[in-house]
Structure 1
Amino acid sequence: MARSPRSVAKKPRLRALPGRSTLAPTSELDDEALLACARDVLEAESRAILGVTQRLGAPFVRAVRLVRECQGQVIVTGMGKAGHIGQKLSATLASTGVRSVFLHPAEAVHGDLGRVARGDVILALSNSGSTEELVRLLPSFKRMATPVIALTADTQSALARGSDVVLEIGHIEEACPMGLVPTASTAALHALGDALTMAVLRSRPFGTDDYALLHPGGKLGRSVQRVFELMRTGPANPLVRDTATLSEVVGVMTKTPGRPGAACVVDRTGRLVGIFTDGDLRRRVEQGLTDFKIQVRDVMGKQPRCVTPETLALSATAQMRELKVDQLPVVDVEGRAVGLLDVQDLLAAKFV
């Protein structure tokens, strides 16, 4: 039996607080209202971040120098949402070569302060600057002679007064319709932390090789990986003299560990002069050319495209795709064949 429309209870609609957006949270928002809400949030957070740029000055420069010259670890700490931002900040610092750990304030007062030592630098995040768990740590940091850099909205807060450097984000209106959920303020803290990290990065020696060392896995690692990390060398690098017979070349290709589908042809000085591949062999057999006593220099591919050990693996992969080949010889600055890059190695490293 169908229920009377009058008996269906209407869902309560949350009213916006005075002075706040009229887009109160409700399941009855139409598509345009949802998009407008999203734009309101993004614009609020953008304004918050831009506002921080106006507050940068001498304290920021001092903070950069403290972090850059830190002899120990950069200890990042914060509670709640600011703590989550702090964990990301610590991870970003570590990924760019700055030794850093995150210290949970509540755990710190129960023994984890043992992670802090003279020579460390503290980065303390708190929008209000009055977070009890954080403020309680300040006397201990002072006794340990560890400078404290505060990222906060209130320069007159307890955290700011107990810190050596204060990076101010200013009082920020949250993007939440109730004005309560940390949104624009955490965006500002996040952006300020990134600005500090990147300023430190630019002011100290740290290049792509250093970055690759700290990011061996995933897409980031592959983006800075070099050919020398993947190429086949030593016994796995199939080298033959240009005077070798085709029979000898096939024997080397067959017996080389990993069974590469090619052999690099070199002269008596070890310089690369050509390449012979499985494809070259198949094409000769298809044409009825089965003289295996012929010297490889008469049938090899001459002036092959090659790469150096320092070439980015991504660039080498792009060359192989463009040339439609499965191997690339690797040569040093004098043209000597020092390795072979095989498509199977790129597949294993997830480049293709």
Structure 2
Amino acid sequence: MASSRSSRARVVKLPVRRSRASARPRPRTQDLVAYGRTVVEAEARAIGAVPLDDAFATAVRWILGCKGRVVVTGMGKPGFVAQKISATLASTGTPSLYVHPAEAAHGDLGRIARDDLVFALSNSGETEEILRLLPSLKKIGAKIVAITADRANRLARAADLVIAIGNVEEACPMGLAPTASTAVLLAVGDAISMTVLANRPFDREEYALFHPGGKLGRGLMKVHELMRGESSNPVVREDAPLAAAVAVMTETPGRPGATSVVAADGTLVGIFTDGDLRRLVEHGETDFARPVSSAMCRGPKTVRPDALVVDAARVLRQARIDQVPVVDEAGRPVGLLDVQDLLAAKIL
């Protein structure tokens, strides 16, 4: 016989234990912002207190006189800073590379040569992966510059030059995570890079050469690098029939939406565009035997081949036009810059 006890399972309610995190009150926005500000201020104070001295100047002179490359190394968070410093140097005219200290101990030391200059970043100066490299670097003959807290640690004692950043108090609430110290390392690296840049010949064109794929580099391009020249540059005489102008616009490679119009001596006198053509058709003016000079725009905006592309783009925007002739010193059209070229190069 079945038991009279209910077949339902007995539900036992256990006390709910709240985690320490859920029991903690939700922080207010102003408190979060205030704490974030203390971190920023702590790092700013640390950077402002960096005691740059003669060692800094010597490091800059060594880079300016370096016949090899500037090798930057660091482990952990300073390693990421080292990569950035190396990238900044390389992009501003100083041949540089980053070498991971652990990988260096397994063969990458072969990247370093006698004429190179090695910058080793370590706040404590006791990073084992870097210390392990020092005897080999000495044998190679590369000079070693330590960027570290003081001149008493093992890295500093083995280096040829020490840039001491001082004992930096971290912005971490536990005083452990590299924060202010890495900010200082980065600031010192930037100071070195920019001081080197300010004391060596390196112009905007060279900077653009090293940044062809970025917005900065594109902004430093010259018009002659982007314009449509030679066979892609449509040109007609002012006494040519309108039909000839339309044919040139159609048959020129890339089918530009305009053609430069020149006088008998080859100097620019006007421009005829597909917009001008549409307006003629809209008004029923379809006599294509008439000279193009009767329908062209006289005295058009122009740019020079050595002008910056960004300046040429400004001309197009302000004049609300899609094409601008590129003229030489004598006023002869040597190219045509089209808004589509600017869009393709991501200038606009």
Q: TM-score, structure 1 length as denominator?
A: 0.91
What 5-or-longer segments of structure 2 have no aligned partner? 1-10
Shift of 1:322: 1.4
Q: CA RMSD in A?
A: 1.8
* Match of residue 11, structure 1, among 2, 6, 20: 20
Aligned length: 337
Native 8 Å contact 2:72 2:99 kept in 1? yes
The DSSP-based 3-state class of the residue aligned with 2:290 is coil
2:57 corresponds to: 61
Residue 112 (1) aligns with residue 134 (2): no
Once the two structures are TM-superposed, the CA of residue 298 in structure 1 deviates from its matched residue by: 2.7
Runs of 4+ in 1 over 3 A off after TM superposition: 1-4
CA shift at 1:218, angstroms?
2.6
Q: Which amino acid aligns with 1:47?
A: R
Q: Which moved more, 1:330-339 or 1:285-294?
A: 285-294
Quick one: which amino acid aligns to residue 18 of structure 2? A
- Mapped to 2, the partners of 1:310 and 1:329 lie a distance apart of 13
Amino acid corresponding to residue 48 of structure 2 in structure 1 = L
Q: CA deviation at 1:240?
A: 0.8
1:72 matched to 2:72: no
Measure, in 1, the Cα distance between the counterparts of 2:86 and 2:298. 52
**3-state SS of 1:304 partner:** coil
Distance 1:176 1:109 in 2: 31
* Equivalent residue number for residue 136 of structure 1: 132
| 1:319 and 2:328 correspond | no
Question: Shift in Å at residue 335 of structure 1?
Answer: 1.3
SS across alignment from 1:7: coil
Deviation (angstroms), 1:269: 2.9
Partner of 1:35: 33
Aligned to 1:172: 168
Separation of aligned partners in 2, 1:281 and 1:28: 68
Give the alignment's TM-score, normalised by structure 2. Answer: 0.92
Deviations, residues 201-226 of structure 1 (Å, cap 9, x unaligned): 11111111101111111322222122
Segments of 5+ residues of structure 1 without an aligned counterpart are 14-25
1:192 aligns with 2:201: no
Per the alignment, residue 236 of structure 2 pairs with 240
Are 2:108 and 1:127 aligned?
A: no
Aligned letter for 2:28?
Answer: D
| Cα offsets for 1:98-149 (capped at 9, x unmatched) | 1111111111122211111111000110000111111122222222221111
Partner of 1:83: 79
Which residue in 2 is equivalent to 1:281? 277
Question: For the structure 1 residues 3 and 63, does the alpha-carbon distance in structure 2 shift closer, same or farther, using more than 3 Å as the test?
Answer: farther
Which amino acid in structure 1 is aligned with residue 187 of structure 2?
A
Instruction: From the superposition, tell whether residues 180 and 243 of structure 1 become closer, same or farther in structure 2 (CA, over 3 Å).
Output: same
**Rg (Cα) greater in structure:** 2
Q: Distance in 2 between matches of 1:215 and 1:27?
A: 49
Deviations 1:54-110 (A, max 9, x none): x11211111011112211111111111111100111111111121111111111122
1:27 positional shift: 7.7
The alpha-carbon deviation at position 268 of structure 1 amounts to 2.8
Of 238-247 and 184-193, more deviation after overlay is shown by 238-247
Name the CA distance, whole Å, in 2 between partners of 1:269 and 1:129: 73
Tell me what 2:49 maps to: 51
**TM-superposed deviation, 1:334:** 2.0
Q: Which of 327, 338, 348 is the equivalent residue of 1:342? A: 338
Cα distance change, pair 281–105 in 1 and its aligned pair in 2 (3 A)? same
- Structure 1 CA distance for aligned equivalents of residues 72 and 243 of structure 2: 65
CA distance in 1, matches of 2:27, 2:267: 71
Aligned in 2, Cα 1:179/1:297: closer, same or farther, shift over 3 Å?
same
Are the counterparts in 1 of residues 219 and 347 from structure 2 also a CA contact under 8 Å?
Answer: no
Q: Is the 8 A contact 2:72 2:118 kept in 1?
A: yes
Q: 1:38 to 1:295 in 2, by over 3 A?
A: same
